[in-house]
Each structure stands twice: as structure tokens, then as C-alpha cells.
Structure 1
Amino acid sequence: MKTSASIMVLLIEDDMDIAATVNDFLELEGIECDHAYDGESGLDLAKTGNYDVILLDLMLPFRDGVSICEELRGEGVDTPVLMLTARDTLDDKLEGFQAGADDYLVKPYALEELLMRTRVLSRRRSGEIKKFIIEDLEIDFEACSIWRANQEIKVSPTGWLILEVLSRNSPKVVSRAKLEMALWKGEPPDSNALKTHLYKLRKRIDKPFEKDLIHTVAGQGIALREEENGV
């Protein structure tokens, strides 16, 4: 079971000897590790598990690493991906990054370097997310479009920025100070500016629909998530 301080990794690797070595080394360093042998089972785990980093081999049975990464990013999964592969040409690396990978490590690699890169990636979510989907709300970052219950929603540029910050941190609470920093470098035009923009955003995103998705958490901030007890 993952604790608040632990790192949880998914290793998708078809070489059982490499997988066992990596798994044992990471666990000795206090990192929990799940393992998938093939691409299909790895993709299922990546979509459903709560992982901090995905260590993804490029060549896998049933499903290759590039297509796995593309599908995860296309569906809004923002878990950082470290690709592991023996293919080391520039074109190979570009293909991995274009698919949404966050880092690249060529085999054979030193376990200490794998550990270092895993720890660095675990501190952030991926910036390669292309879509965010929650309940019936879909945010497409590439198309800059918002849909809810099959209805397109138009918001102001400020509303879009607020929604982008909330979605990239979802389901965590984002403090008002963090939102103001993202919008106005911490210096809002007036004391009610954020409150006004949040009100307008809620009118677009929540008011016409059955469930609220933008929630105020008293004393903490704002969250975009699936719950019905927001105020």
C-alpha cells in the first residue's frame, strides 16, 4: 500500500531478468514497483493504477511503448513516463518524446541513474497531457476546446487559464494564492478579481448541469474533481 511519502512505480518490461533486477533495486531504495510483462496489461495498469512514474520499455509484446504513451496522453493520463530502450538514435528519441514521454534512458543503463531520474520525475506530473476528462467534462488542450455533456463551452481567456491550472492539479486542491500567481504573477487587479472569474467559470462549467465539478474547499482553495459536497 502506498504511503504519502512513498514513490509508486509501474515497470512495463518484457525481459524478466531486467525487470527482476530493477524491481529489487528500487525496492531496496524504498520505491514500490508493480510490473507488467506485455504492452496490453501494462496499458491497463497505467490507466487504472495510482503511479508516480511509469518506466516504459519501447519494444513489448502485443503493444509497443510508443503507442502506449500516445494512448495515455490522448486520454489525459499525466503520469510521467521514462522510456527504457536499446534504440538510441536521435529519431528514436524524437519518436518517444513526440508520443508524450518525459525522459529517455538507453540500455544498458546504470541502476543509480534510473533511480535518480525516477525520483526527479516523481516530483511532478507530466506536461505532455493532451486531454483531461472528468465525468462528462472534456478539456482538449491541443484544440483549446471544452465540452460538457456533448455541449461545447466557451470561456474567457482567464477562465481557460483557471481551468487549465485546476485540471492539471486535479483532484488536488489549488490554493487561491497559486491561482493568483498563475493568472497575475500574484498581483491581481483587485481583491475580488479571482472570485469574480471563478463565479463566471462556474456559470459556464457547472450551472447548466446536474453535478458541480468545481468545488471550494473551505480554508484551502479550489478543486476540480468528482464529488458532490463542494460548497
Structure 2
Amino acid sequence: MEAEAKPVIEKLGLTALADSHTLRGNFPRFQGEFEGKEIIISLNGKSSEYGVDRIGTEFAALNTQSAILEFAPDLIINAGTCGAFSADADIADIITSDQPVVYHDHRVPMEGFSEFATGHHPVTYKPDYFQGVAHKLGVVTTGNSLDMPEVDRQIIEQNRGMAKEMECASVAAVASLYGIDFFPIKSVTDHVDIELDNVEQFLENLNRASLKLSETLIKVLTNID
């Protein structure tokens, strides 16, 4: 989302690039250098029809593949916000993972297809990247809905999910397809198990979580050799 990316784009002083030649539609990209590393931030853009951020797995996968083909990155970081269970994390806590990323809304109860649908896409967690960074380790689980019906909750708990969000597994899948190291950085905006409207929670905490996300991402980029 634009609101999640804006603080880090401004802090790093990144420059907007011309529209992608491999994708139709608006996929904003920003480029710059930070401590000797070339940085590309690629956003999923906004819907021309509805004027909202193009959240979810479809545009995240398109964006990731296009960015790989255009820039050939050595490392992909999926930085964004997430929901979490109140027992696992506080608002604006940072979550990353040393375990595969999964889907919680892909349900195909057939031999082989069930495992494929769940995903289990690999991540590359290196403790050195997070040296001096307060963070929690847990499973990141992806689905295309902001709410959490009971069937999704059951699957999230079965997979021991900590961070519930809407893009990570699709980004991880594409990174794995191209053999590129990948890991997520997520900042908590809402508690999925609290009896409050999680839309209200999300909007109330988005700015705080996004600022924490940008601070963390810059620290992690500093730690990467």
C-alpha cells in the first residue's frame, strides 16, 4: 500500500521511475542507493476504477515477476502491515519469519492439491539482518480477505500463523520460482481476535505501524552486507 511505503521512500530519498514496460497499468516504482546497495521499491499501485490500493495476491504476484524480469534483484523483501493475535504481538510490533509462508484461504481437499494450495513457500531468514532490531519470529499466513471467518481461523491456528496479511505468500511463491532469496517484514496494525471492527483498528493504527515498518526496514538494509 502507498501509505505503508511512503515513509521509507521519503527517508531513503528514492526517485520515481518511468512506468514499467513489462506491465500494463500503474505500478509505481522508486529507485535509489543506500549504503552502497541499489534499492528498488515496487508498489502494486491503485485501481483506476475504484481509486484504492490494489491489495491482494493477484497484483502482488504480477508486480513481483515484472520487477524480477526488469531488475534481476539478489534479494526480495515483502515489507508491509499485518494483523496478529493479541497474545502474540502488540500494535506496531515487527514480525518476520524463519518458516515457510502459507495461505489460509486456499482449500482444496484432494491428495497433493491440498499441500500445493497451502503453499509452504520458503524464506531466507538471517539473524544478522535483524541484529539490533526488536522483532518476533512466526509464520506469515496470507489470504485475500481482511476479515477472518471461522474456517480461516482454524487453518491459521493449525499452521501456527502469527502474522495474517494479504500478499506475502504470492510474493514468496514468485521469488522461489526464480530462485531469489526472500523474507518478509510485517508491522502489526490490528488484533484479529479482539472484538472490535478490524477495519477500524487497521485505519487507526496504519500510520504508527507504517512508521515502525520504515524504521525497521532501514535498520535491516543497514545490516545487509
Q: TM-score, normalised by structure 1?
A: 0.30
Q: TM-score, normalised by structure 2?
A: 0.30
